[in-house]
Amino acid sequence: MSIPQHLKYTKEHEWISVEGDVATVGITAFAAESLGDIVFVQLPAVGEKVAAGEVFGEVESTKSVSELYAPLSGEVVEVNDAVTETPELINSDPFDQGWLLKVRTDDVPELLDAAAYAALTQEG
């Protein structure tokens, strides 16, 4: 499993890419593989606020339903409609076309780098 070096990660298996004051959020390939075939995604609407550590949506797979936790606080400025229409994008391309949402934030918390995330997933 490839872990992109330029992203930051959470212990909840989400990735973040920050450009200016906007962070793109998705779930990692490890999470997507663990979930199995993703069949449904529920995301917040543009303009909604998300709070770090709080549930912002869910993904449903053929195995289970999992809640998504916001890795940071802010306002949702864009959602990836492609993943709500074609949820399997998260399985096939979690780090590119399978992104979930973009959040405008002024507070990016300390997150794991690729090496620390790799160590976490090897322990689990």
Q: What is the CATH number of the domain that holds 79?
A: 2.40.50.100
Give the torsion sign (CA, 18, 23, 24, 30).
Answer: positive
d(CA 49, CA 43): 12
Count up the domains in the chain and report the number. Answer: 1
Range of the domain at 87: 8-106
Q: Is the pLDDT of residue 26 over 90?
A: yes
d(CA 89, CA 74): 25
Q: Is the pLDDT of residue 123 over 80?
A: no
Mean pLDDT, the chain, integer: 94
Q: How many helices (H) and strands (E) does the chain have?
A: 4, 9
Q: Say whether pTM exceeds 0.75.
A: yes
Q: Which residue has the higher pLDDT, 1 or 100?
A: 100
